[in-house]
Structure 1
C-alpha cells in the first residue's frame, strides 16, 4: 500500500505541491519555494504567511515541516514571527541588477551618472582603480559575500519611523535652519554616552565632531595634517584598501607596516619614522586579529616618545561573539589618539553618519575643515539617531543582530571547512567577515573573477595588501542568508578546484 507521501497533494497557496519535493527534503523544498515567491514579488513585504497548521493540512505534511521552513525564513531575515499576528514577510532578497552596457575606464574617473558594469576579469584587476568599489558593488551577482556590510534587511524601520515622528513632533521651526557644524547637541551628547558605555571612552559632547562617516573623517584629518606639514600616515599591511585610497587622494603617502598575530609590528613602525599611523586595534581589517596587550603598550610608548598620532578606526568593534570586549586606545591615551567611529556597521552605510574624537590640538582645525566642507551634516537623521541611542533602541538592535551574525558566521565556517578544506580561516571571533588564505600558486584576483563569473562576489585579499603575501579572499557573512553563504562558498570551492 503506498504511503501518504506518494499521494499528490497541493495547496492553492502559491500552487504548492508536496509531491514535487525530494524525498527527505520537505522543509528545504518549502523554504526554497517561499524564498522564490518573496524574491519574485508573489509574496510582498508585509504579507502574512498561512498558519503552520493550516498549510500543513493543505500540503498533507507534518506541522513540523512547515514550522521548520518558516524558521529558516526567520533566520535568513526574510520573515518575522509576530505572535498572534502570525509569521510576516519583512524583507525580500536583493536581486542582482540587470547587466548594462560596459563603460570605458579612464584615469580621470567615471563620467557623471555612469552605470558601472564590467566583465569579471575587468572588475578584479591586480591594480584596483579609484572607482573600484563602485564597480564591484554594481557588478551583477546572485550572492554577495563582499565584506563591510551589516544585515541591511534587519534595519529597524519601525523604530526609525517612530523616532522620526517623535523628533518632528517636538522640533521647533528654528531647528530646520542652519545648525552647528560640529553636529547637533543631541547627537553629540548621545555619542559621548554611547562611547562611555560601549567603548570605555570618557569624552564630553564638546569633544565629539559629527561627520559623514569614517571616509569624511579621513578626508578632514588628511587636510589638517597636510596643513601642518605631515606628508604620510603609516598603515597596517594588510589593511583597508578603501582607507588607503582616501588618504592618498588627499595627498598623503601610506607606507605599509606589517601585521602579525598580535597586530601591527611597532618596532617596524618606529623604523619607518612616520609621524602618524592608522590602526584597527579591536578587530584588524582584514585579518581580524586583536592588538595584543604588549603591542598596545608598545604603540602607546611610540606615540608618547615621538609625539606621534594614532588614528584609531573602530569600524566594527561592537560586533564580537567569542571574546570579551577590548578597550579602545582612545580610552587609554586620549592626547595622542584620534578616534573614528560610525553607524555604517551598526545600522546601515546609507545613513552616512559617523563621529570623530580628536586630541585637543586637532579638534578645532577639524571643526574648521568640516565647516568649510559642508557647513555640517544633515541634522534630521542626527536627531533620529540620537533618539535611538538615548532610548536604548540601538543597543537592543545590536543584541539582536549579534545573534543573527553569529549564526551566519558559524554557517560560513562550516561551509569553508566543507568546501575549502585547505584554507586557513582568520578573524572568526568578531566582526562581519572572515579572511581565508590558501597556499601559493595562483592569483586571488583570478579566483575572485572566476567566482563572480559563477554569480558569487568576494574581495581578493591582495587588494588589501601592499606587499606580496599568500592568496586569499575576504568573505562577508552579515548581509547574506545561511543558505546564500553555504551556496556561495560551495561555488568558490568548485572554481578553486
Structure 2
C-alpha cells in the first residue's frame, strides 16, 4: 500500500514510500530526497527536518532516516552542520531542469513605473505603537464578524479626516472599508449594474484597469476627452452615460485639474440625468505648487461616490481603501462586501483608525510631501537639461508627471531603447480608450531616489539619441 505524509519538523518534506515493494525504505527515502534536490524543489541551504521528527512523521524507525541522511551526505547532496541540523548542499542544488518554462528577465534597474510610493519610508514605529494599543485596548467582541461597512472606529476616523482635509461631507454610516480601490470599484460597478445603470464614461486617456471590470459587470464603457480644465462635460452629455469616473483633483495620466466650472457642470449633469459620479481621489494629498482643491463629494453627497486609498500615501500592500457612498447605495454595497470576503481584516482597520485619529497620518504626509517634491523637481530639471523637447505636464501634484513625445519619436522605439539600457519607461498607448491619441510617456517617481531619477533621465536621453540616430 502506498503511504505518504508531510513532516511536522523544521520544514515540510513530502516523500512517497511504497512498503509493499522489495526496495528498502532507506533507499526509497534517499531516492525521494535526491530527486527533489535534482529537480530544484529543495533549494540550496534548505534546512531538513530532524531525523527524529521525520521518522515520526513518516512512521519509520529513526535508524532508517539516519541511514538515508548519511548516504546523501556521503554523496554530497546534504551537509551536516554544527548544532545537529542538516541542510541541502549548495553544490548539489540546481535550478529546475531544462524543459520547464523560462523565467522572465528581471525588472529594469531604474524603473519609472507609475503607482509606486516610497515604501521604505513607511512609518513603522508609529504603526507599531498603534498595533500595540489596539491589541491591548480593543474589546474582544471587536474581533468578531463585522458589519459589511467595516469597523466603526475606522469609518469615524476617516470621516473626520476627510471632512477636515478633503472637504468631503462624509457620514461614518455611509462609509465602506474595502481592500483598496480595486475591490471597492469592482463591487460598486457590480451593484450599479444590478441597479440598472448601463453606461460608464471614463476619462480619455485614463487608467485602463477598470474597463475590463466594468464590462464584466455588464456596463458599456465609453471614453470622454480630457481638456486642460478637466473632463469635457459637453462630450459627456453626448455620450449617453449614466455614471462617470473622474480623477478631478489630479487627472491620471495628464495631471489636469478639474476647474470650478467643470466640477459645477458635472454635478449639474448628474442631477439632471439622475446619474452618478465616481470620484477617484487617488493622490490628492500630495500637492506642491498649488492650493489644495476640495473633493467634489462635498458639493453633492447624494450624487458622488468618493473613493480613497492608503496605497499612495502609506503602502499599497496594506490593501486599505474606503468609499463614501450616497445613502441609497450603502445597504447594497455592505451586502456585496460581506458576500465577497466577509469584511477586511479588523486588526488592520483598527490600527489604521488609531493611526489616523492620533494625527500620525497627517505627520507622515507632512514628512513625505517635501521628499516627493524634491524628486519631482529633480525629474523636471533633468528633463529640461537633457531632453528639452519633452515638456512635462501635470507636475503640480501627485507622484507622476507626463510628457508628450515629439513627432519623430514613437513610444515603442523609445521604450525598447530604454529597456536595453536597464531603464523602464512607459507610454500612453494603454490609456487611450476610444482613439489612438498622441504619443507620450508617464514617469512615476515616488519609489526612486534623487540619484536614480537623474541617472534614469540620462539613460533616457541616450536612448532617445539612439532612436533618432537610427531613424
- Matched residue, 1:61: none
Deviations 1:281-318 (A, max 9, x none): 00000011100111111111111111111010000011
1:322 aligns with 2:289: yes
Q: 1:246 to 1:454 in 2, by over 3 A?
A: farther
**Where do residues 205-354 of structure 1 align in structure 2 (5 Å cutoff)?**
205-354=172-321
- 2:454 corresponds in structure 1 to 486
Q: How many residues align?
A: 370
The counterpart of 1:388, out of the listed 355, 364, 367, is 355
Q: Does 1:471 align with 2:458?
A: no
Q: CA deviation at 1:116?
A: 7.3
Q: Distance in 1 between matches of 2:287 and 2:403?
A: 19
Report 1:16-415 matches (<5 A): 117=104, 139-415=106-382
The Cα shift of 1:103 comes to 12
Contact 1:411–1:485, Cα closer than 8 Å, also in 2: yes
Normalised to the residue count of structure 2, the TM-score between the two structures is 0.75
Which of the numbers 410, 418, 432 marks the counterpart of 2:385?
418
SS in 2 for 1:278: strand
The whole-number CA distance in structure 1 between the counterparts of 2:399 and 2:98 is 31
Q: Does the 8 A contact of 2:108 with 2:423 survive in 1?
A: yes
Is the 8 Å Cα contact of residues 102 and 117 (structure 1) preserved in structure 2? Answer: no
Supply the distance in 2 between the matched residues of 1:204 and 1:228 (Cα, whole angstroms).
23
Q: Deviations over 1:345-371 (max 9, x none)?
A: 110000000100111111211111111
Does the residue aligned with 1:289 lie in a helix, a strand or coil?
Answer: coil
1-structure distance, mates of 2:401, 2:436: 20
* The 10-residue stretch of structure 1 (314-323 or 449-458) with the greater mean CA deviation from structure 2: 449-458
Decide whether the 8 Å contact of 1:445 with 1:462 is kept in 2: no
SS in 1 for 2:202: strand
How many Å apart are 1:403 and its aligned residue? 0.6
Q: TM-score, normalising length from structure 1? A: 0.72
Shift of the alpha carbon at 1:101? 11
Cα 1:377/1:282, change in 2 over 3 Å: same
Following superposition, the deviation at residue 166 of structure 1 comes to 1.1
Q: Which segments of 5 or more consecutive residues in structure 2 lack a partner in the other structure?
A: 1-94, 466-471
CA distance in 1, matches of 2:409, 2:98: 27
Give unmatched runs, 5+ long, in structure 1. Answer: 1-98, 105-113, 119-138
Kindly state the Cα deviation for residue 212 of structure 1 after the two structures are TM-superposed: 0.5
Report if the CA contact (8 A) 1:215-1:246 is conserved.
Answer: no
CA displacement at 1:446 relative to structure 2: 3.1
Question: Is the CA contact 2:117–2:315 (under 8 Å) kept in the aligned structure 1?
Answer: yes
Q: The residue matched to 2:305 in structure 1 has which SS?
A: strand
Given that residues 147 and 458 in structure 1 are in contact (C-alpha distance below 8 angstroms), is that contact kept between their aligned partners in structure 2? no
1:430 and 2:397 aligned: yes
The verdict on how the C-alpha distance between 1:399 and 1:102 changes in structure 2, with shifts beyond 3 A counting, is farther
For 2:209 and 2:164, locate their aligned partners in 1 and report how far apart those are by CA, in whole Å: 29
Deviation at 1:418, TM superposition (A): 1.5
The CA deviation string for residues 59-84 of structure 1, in whole angstroms up to 9 with x for no partner, is xxxxxxxxxxxxxxxxxxxxxxxxxx
Q: Pairwise CA RMSD of aligned residues? A: 2.1
Q: Is the CA contact 1:448–1:473 (under 8 Å) kept in the aligned structure 2? A: no
Q: Which residue of 2 aligns with 1:458?
A: 425
Shift of 1:449: 2.9
